[in-house]
């Protein structure tokens, strides 16, 4: 069991459920290509036969670890897609694609390529999820360290937004990454397409779509949060970037609550937040 050929066979056994099924049934034909001695073949068979459940448990552990690593690159996408569908997509990838040689990042990029071409992903009705996945795959490609600070824990509230049809704005978020916070603030003041607030502590960015800017009562509440953000970062205690303009229109209470909660939650974690209401 210590020869190179046996080690290769074991690697295949750990990764391929079909091979485990064949060998458990006594079918040794899949081993022909590996040039094992009869003694080695018998040893491999005894492993599969005598420790089948342990072997399945171990193989499952391998997949779980891989999935955990993949999830760390796509926390927002995973949260928005939902646990059940997300797990199916990950399982499908891990079953069809052997782990990519090299670092986890390459595996994550390959996963999104696989996802983009899969029927399951094409069947998703929430089109903004494609943008979300593209952004996170972009983070993986760029090795953007701040983006990689997302964790399952600090993205839990994003699920609220998936129900409220809120998606990320790819152009805005990508443009904003690595910009100096003061430039982002100027951008916001200039009345650009989104209102933006940022702190210089890490990269805290909050985007609000133009439509949202008209909801002054909401923005007044949010501005309090933003003031705290900026105050914490550079000593400023208030901001005037969001103009108060009563319009009488109101957002749903659920949206307001989710927005406020998410801003607080993400900022406490020191991560990037980019949001645009889907129109």
Partner 1 sequence: MIVPHSALGVGIGYRRELDKAFTSHVDAIDFFEFIGDTCFDEDVLARVTTLSRSMPSVCHTLGLSLGTREPLDRAYLRRLARVIASVSPRWVSDHLAITSVGGMQLGHLTPVLFCHDTVAYMSEKVDEVQQYLGTKLLLENITCSVVLPGAELSEPEVLSLLAAKSGCGILLDLNNLYINSHNLDFDPYDYLRSFPLAYVDQVHIGGAKHENDGSLSDSHGHPVASEVFDYLAFVADRRPAIATLLERDQNFEPIDDVLADMHTAREILARATTLPIRSTSSGEVR
Q: Which is nearer to partner 1, 98 or 261 (CB)?
A: 98
CB 100 → partner 1: shortest distance, Å? 7
Q: Which is nearer to partner 1, 123 or 268 (CB)?
A: 268
Binding segment for partner 1 (CB under 8 A), chosen from 57-65, 116-124, 183-191, 229-237, is 57-65
Binding mask 140-179 for partner 1 (x = CB under 8 A): ---x-x--xx-x-x--------------------------
How far apart are alpha carbons 263 and 270 in whole angstroms?
11
- 33 binds partner 1 per the rule CB under 8 A: no
Who contacts 72 (Cβ-Cβ below 8 Å, separation ≥6)? Answer: 104, 148, 150, 151
Asked if 220 and 244 count as a contact pair (C-beta separation under 8 A), the reply is: yes
- 128 binds partner 1 per the rule CB under 8 A: no
CB 34 → partner 1: shortest distance, Å? 10
Binding segment for partner 1 (CB under 8 A), chosen from 20-28, 61-69, 180-188, 244-252, is 61-69
Asked if 165 and 278 count as a contact pair (C-beta separation under 8 A), the reply is: yes
Q: Which long-range contacts (CB under 8 A, 24 or more apart) does 57-65 make?
A: 58/14, 59/13, 59/14, 59/15, 59/17, 59/20, 62/14, 62/15, 63/91, 63/94
- Looking from the CA of 94 toward its CB, the CA atoms found within 13 Å total 22
Q: Which is nearer to partner 1, 66 or 215 (CB)?
A: 66
How far apart are alpha carbons 270 and 202 in whole angstroms?
6
CA angle 187, 155, 216 (to 5 degrees): 40
CB 35 → partner 1: shortest distance, Å? 12
- 265 binds partner 1 per the rule CB under 8 A: no
How far apart are alpha carbons 36 and 13 in whole angstroms?
14
Which one of 31, 55, 203, 267 is in contact with partner 1 (CB under 8 A)? Answer: 55
Q: Which is nearer to partner 1, 2 or 127 (CB)?
A: 2
- 57 binds partner 1 per the rule CB under 8 A: yes
Using CB under 8 A as the binding rule, the residues of this chain from 9 to 28 that contact partner 1 are 10-12, 14-15
The residue written with tokens 């009563």 in the block is: 246
- Tokens for 82, please give them: 């939902």
3-state secondary structure of 30: helix
- 100 binds partner 1 per the rule CB under 8 A: yes
The residue written with tokens 């108060």 in the block is: 244
The residue written with tokens 């491999």 in the block is: 44
Residues at the interface with partner 1 (CB under 8 A): 1-4, 7-8, 10-12, 14-15, 43, 46-47, 50-51, 54-55, 57-58, 61-62, 64-66, 69, 98-104, 107, 143, 145, 148-149, 151, 153
């Amino acid at each position: 069991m210590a020869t190179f050929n046996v080690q290769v066979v074991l690697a295949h056994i750990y990764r391929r459920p079909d091979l485990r099924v064949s060998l458990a049934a006594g079918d040794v034909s899949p081993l022909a290509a590996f040039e094992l001695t009869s003694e080695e073949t018998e040893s491999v068979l005894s492993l599969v036969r005598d420790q089948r459940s342990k072997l399945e448990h171990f193989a499952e552990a391998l997949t779980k670890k891989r999935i955990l690593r993949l999830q760390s690159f796509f926390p927002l996408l995973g949260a928005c897609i939902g646990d059940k569908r997300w797990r199916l997509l990950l399982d499908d990838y891990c079953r069809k694609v052997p782990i990519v040689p090299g670092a986890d990042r390459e595996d994550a990029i390959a996963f999104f390529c696989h996802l983009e071409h899969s029927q399951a992903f094409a069947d998703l009705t929430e089109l903004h999820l494609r943008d979300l996945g593209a952004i996170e795959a972009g983070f993986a490609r760029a090795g953007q360290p701040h983006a990689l600070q997302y964790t399952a824990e600090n993205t839990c509230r994003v699920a609220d937004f998936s129900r409220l049809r809120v998606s990320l704005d790819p152009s805005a978020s990508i443009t904003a990454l690595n910009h100096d916070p003061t430039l982002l603030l100027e951008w916001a003041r200039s009345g650009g397409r989104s209102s933006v607030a940022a702190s210089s502590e890490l990269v805290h960015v909050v985007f609000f779509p133009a439509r949202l800017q008209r909801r002054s009562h909401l923005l007044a509440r949010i501005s309090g949060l933003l003031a705290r953000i900026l105050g914490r970062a550079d000593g400023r205690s208030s901001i005037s970037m969001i103009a108060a303009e009563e319009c009488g229109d109101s957002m749903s209470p659920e949206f307001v609550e989710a927005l406020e909660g998410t801003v607080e939650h993400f900022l406490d974690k020191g991560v990037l937040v980019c949001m645009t209401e889907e129109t």
